[in-house]
Structure 1
């Protein structure tokens, strides 16, 4: 049976062209089921794990329907629990709306509200925002939802966990009653059911995507946080230090595969690509070379990699994050076969970190942070490898025929200098790049805080957010990931919020216990 294509779902040509540019080769399960229902005008409740492609599932049909009716006023309001998700959703919607004149704006705390007000006054069609900031703008009479066509609650259960229920209800009460409403949530607690029953149509369509949250126990999972401009150099550094015997490198798009293969080949890496635009014979030939060990790095899209069964893949590298969690699980399952150890690396920017945490939550696995290798680490790896080869050559007496040449050099040069020069020539040739900076990384990420309270103190994300707000006057949007352990807690916060929390909250009492707060130091 032929698989469903985006062109089968009823989207307009401009949206289809944008999706093609994004490189998605076929819809995910939730996209396949939600898009036609939204286009028919039904309210939708979508229950699916985070990271299943929900943004495109609601964004593509909305933009298709709005394209011919743009009035320069707010048609759509999308509520998200955090500013990271608001930015992420807004970025993806902008890509979907690439060939339309639809204007979008993300609104959230931590950014000057005046800038957002000025943008709204110039005319915005779709607003993506956190409940607190959206409600603030409504109360200032800047956002008017009386004529909106679409209301979307994204990650509804997360918004409820963060204490946004009252804000959400007040926003909904300001909305046009004839709107089309969509609610997406990984779980369906009673509060979500009550909310949907109270504010959604009687003929609302319920779509549930049941996912098997499997992980691969023999695969060690890590991520590197990088700046977008450093993504390729970070990959080269990782390849130079780990020296994978056989690796599959995943890109999100066909164009991305072609560009990465070209860049890797220019650096001297033995790499070839696979994606849907290549002929079957080309793909089979590339796969044959990879299986036989004549190709070190296979660069592929998710669709092209289906059916690949190669036992000795030591590494899977997500150069781009996948479209959904299921794709991530399939990707990392390409290594660690037959009870062998495997390694999975993922490159993320600070904006993409939120998606990674969603994948971690959905797969119930731990993806640990690693630092991008420095030049010294790369040099040390190459040096050790070269020394090992020299020892092996001496032990096998493969060097004997070159002894006369070395003797001649000994008459003219110090043999230590000769050895150093040879090391330099070999290592320079093996280095994937003329690296200029010793270290690269991303300074734009959250500050991670350590708190001396945990589950045993009966705290939860809601009580922590209230504690920070009451004492440090922080916004909910300033706080990122919260990891509550038995006796202590880790909290990600923006740089300024972290300073305020340490200054005004440390030493205060939470749930009857004095809290010590400091910046978490990596081990």
Structure 2
């Protein structure tokens, strides 16, 4: 496909609205990345698209700019002549709250000068502000499936005026857990809509499935010359075989690597994320966690503190791997081996974004060697046998530029961050004990999530009712290691529920 390259063109060369071009330029975005340059001509002509590019290479604006270009804004002359002015014209569906927030922010920034109203719809927040925004009128809605369906069924969200529909992280959205909800949303949109699917990974079976909902889609795969591998060439990959009993000590030294800036540490379970965060804080590091046991207010508090630099370490489960887009993340650490190659790509893709460089470090337990072997083979990383590594191993210090005098605690002179407590915890109208849990403690570690329901084990779809009878539909992470379910539950306050035996509908003696 002979699209202009970023070095040859600017957004204005594609006929983009001057106010969108100006808004992007204000944020230092002038030339499109390859996925954007390849997508814009096709998307602007109204064709359906399956877009695939590596994480951190600009997929959001690849579909976001065409959405904003086609929207009729309140200030446009033809706005009042629309059949339903103020009814959503574009819908972006995302698998996680964090990703929905990120997409909304990018679209809001790019469309601000046109006066385009973008609303984020997801669970974990009160219904009323979202309903009020829809009543006032919005042009673009970005949200997660569960809350979107709730508002649609209540009659507050009407999709009959949708011109463009986007499934972000489409491989996840079309996974079995989300497919029924996606179909419900699609059924309420006009058949004439433009549909765009975007993701870093797009297995053949998902492409086949996606075509059911699209009209002669164009499949676009964007690659930069010299970066043909599945991982981003600008990310240095280090893999170590580490012992579970030494991991925190090893991690504490990794976090004292040369030129380390903002760092994201990924774990497979919520209990591990909370435990590692506690350990790091006790050792003097400015850390915060984000996982499914935290209420939405606490999750957003942690992200704000991370973005502002009040904490420089974010410990997260995979619920965040597809939604965290923070500038200047220099290091990503896989504290536990990812489940598969897709998870590995999405985790490591949090660094080395937008043309920058980064470092990805993976710690593999002995028990996870078979899993790592499959990831290594699939991604052709060339590291089939990671070196056995301990917190005192010389090659660890040499690889990452760690001071040989570094210990398992951060020197007091280096403890300059304000910490999570310096970031205000916003009241989002949540209910439940964990909704207000922004710091450490037992509220972070329970086996219930912030929406009041039990997590499904094994990473399947999670659905639960909130205090107003609504539902949230998002991917959940495993609650804990096998055998830990009993001690991971949080008991509710008040007297235990009394049960009475009955026989034939009458109390038994």
- The TM-score, its normalising length taken from structure 1, stands at 0.51
Structure 2 unaligned runs (5+)?
A: 80-84, 224-228, 240-253, 256-262, 265-286, 289-301, 314-325, 331-347, 362-378, 384-408, 426-436, 448-455, 493-509
Partner of 1:371: none
Superposed CA deviations along residues 425-466 of structure 1, whole A, max 9, x for unmatched, are: xxxxxx998x98898578748976487xxxxxx96311x736
User: Is 1:23 aligned to residue 36 of structure 2?
Assistant: no
Question: Residue 458 of structure 2 contacts residue 478 of structure 2 at CA under 8 Å; is this kept in 1?
Answer: no
Partner of 2:105: 91
Q: How does 1:49-68 map onto structure 2 within 5 Å?
A: 49-66=54-71, 67=73, 68=76
Alpha-carbon distance between aligned partners in 1 of 2:61 and 2:121, rounded to the nearest angstrom: 20
Mean CA deviation greater in 95-104 or 48-57 = 48-57
Question: Residue 30 of structure 1 contacts residue 209 of structure 1 at CA under 8 Å; is this kept in 2?
Answer: yes
Residues 146 and 232 of structure 1: CA distance in aligned 2, closer, same or farther (over 3 Å): closer
Question: Residue 92 of structure 2 contacts residue 142 of structure 2 at CA under 8 Å; is this kept in 1?
Answer: yes
Q: How does 1:496-515 map onto structure 2 within 5 Å?
A: 502-503=490-491
Alpha-carbon distance between aligned partners in 2 of 1:233 and 1:133, rounded to the nearest angstrom: 31
Ranked by relative contact order (alpha carbons within 8 Å, sequence separation 6 or more), the top structure is 2
User: Is 1:332 aligned to residue 358 of structure 2?
Assistant: yes
Question: Residue 52 of structure 1 contacts residue 324 of structure 1 at CA under 8 Å; is this kept in 2?
Answer: no
Question: Residue 40 of structure 2 contacts residue 62 of structure 2 at CA under 8 Å; is this kept in 1?
Answer: yes
Residues 16 and 252 of structure 1: CA distance in aligned 2, closer, same or farther (over 3 Å): farther
Alpha-carbon distance between aligned partners in 2 of 1:483 and 1:213, rounded to the nearest angstrom: 29
Mean CA deviation greater in 60-69 or 169-178 = 60-69
Question: Residue 53 of structure 2 contacts residue 222 of structure 2 at CA under 8 Å; is this kept in 1?
Answer: yes
Which has the greater radius of gyration?
1
Partner of 1:183: 197
Q: How does 1:415-426 map onto structure 2 within 5 Å?
A: none
Residues 63 and 445 of structure 1: CA distance in aligned 2, closer, same or farther (over 3 Å): farther
Partner of 1:150: 164
Residue from 78, 87, 93 that aligns with 2:92: 78
Q: Secondary structure at the match of 1:51?
A: coil
TM-fit CA distance, 1:478 = 7.0
Alpha-carbon distance between aligned partners in 2 of 1:190 and 1:480, rounded to the nearest angstrom: 24
Question: Residue 110 of structure 1 contacts residue 477 of structure 1 at CA under 8 Å; is this kept in 2?
Answer: no
Q: Secondary structure at the match of 1:127?
A: strand
Superposed CA deviations along residues 271-293 of structure 1, whole A, max 9, x for unmatched, are: xxxxxxxxxxxxxxxxxxxxxxx
Question: Residue 154 of structure 1 contacts residue 185 of structure 1 at CA under 8 Å; is this kept in 2?
Answer: yes
Partner of 2:219: 206
Q: Secondary structure at the match of 1:465?
A: strand
Alpha-carbon distance between aligned partners in 1 of 2:64 and 2:484, rounded to the nearest angstrom: 35
Question: Residue 95 of structure 2 contacts residue 475 of structure 2 at CA under 8 Å; is this kept in 1?
Answer: no
Residue from 7, 13, 24 that aligns with 2:18: 13
Superposed CA deviations along residues 232-259 of structure 1, whole A, max 9, x for unmatched, are: 6648x99xxxxxxxxxxxx969xxxxxx
User: How many pairs does the alignment contain?
Assistant: 322
User: Is 1:461 aligned to residue 459 of structure 2?
Assistant: yes
TM-fit CA distance, 1:22 = 1.5
TM-fit CA distance, 1:177 = 1.0
Q: How does 1:362-441 map onto structure 2 within 5 Å?
A: 382=413
Alpha-carbon distance between aligned partners in 2 of 1:98 and 1:160, rounded to the nearest angstrom: 31
Residues 482 and 24 of structure 1: CA distance in aligned 2, closer, same or farther (over 3 Å): farther
Structure 1 unaligned runs (5+)?
A: 239-250, 254-299, 301-321, 334-341, 344-361, 366-376, 383-430, 452-457, 491-497, 505-523
